[in-house]
Each structure stands twice: as structure tokens, then as C-alpha cells.
Amino acid sequence: QKEVEQDPGPLSVPEGAIVSLNCTYSNSAFQYFMWYRQYSRKGPELLMYTYSSGNKEDGRFTAQVDKSSKYISLFIRDSQPSDSATYLCAGGSTLGRLYFGRGTQLTVWP
């Protein structure tokens, strides 16, 4: 079983839709969770960083962590064509490395 599981999609939505991206993880020691956005042929860039359970909001983006069910979510409100990218979730403990999901490819069409 992989440490972090993520449905690769692809996911295609119309502009203005609410997008829900999800991951599950298996390691109970994970306390740090991140979402990265990666445009085609570019390096990933950090979108959201959360510690332990709870919600974190930043503009149109909301990250949720439910440690009881080992579930990580990213919501994008009022999605835009510029949000079209691959979204990677990641989790880690204090032991030196992150574990990434496979990434979900998102397309937002005008």
C-alpha cells in the first residue's frame, strides 16, 4: 500500500465550478500535509500547507485534513482556466521526507 493515494483523474470542469481534490494516506504518524500545483513541464509550487487536522483557507482555496479517516482534501471555488494544472498532495512526519500522491490532472474549460 502506498503511503499516499491520489486519483490521477483527469478531471474536467467548467469555469466557475467548485473543484474537490482528494487523497488518502496510510501512515498515522503524518502530521504535515501539503498541496502543490504543477503546470505542464514546470516544477511544483506550494499551494497550501496544513498541520494536523482542520481547515485552512487562502483565497479561493481551502485545504482540509481529517486525521481520523486519513483523508486530505483541496477545494477550489470559482475555478478559472488558469487553475488547469496537476495537483499533488503530500504528507510527512518528522522523519526527514515527504510522501507524494500521483497527482490529479485538472482542466477548467471556459
Place of cell 501512515: 27
Q: How far apart are CA 12 and CA 107, in angstroms?
A: 5
Task: Report, in Å, the least distance between residue 103 CB and other proteins.
Answer: 5
Q: Say if CB 64 and CB 104 are below 8 A apart.
A: no
Note whether 24 binds other proteins by CB under 8 A: no
- 70: number of Cβ within 10 Å: 17
Q: Which is nearer to other proteins, 17 or 98 (CB)?
A: 98
Note whether 88 binds other proteins by CB under 8 A: yes
63 exposure class (CB count in 10 Å sphere: 0-12, 13-18, 19+): buried
The only residue of 50, 101, 106, 108 in contact with other proteins, by rule CB under 8 A:
101
Note whether 27 binds other proteins by CB under 8 A: no
Binding site for other proteins (CB under 8 A): 6, 8, 31-32, 34, 36, 41-46, 49, 88, 92-98, 100-103
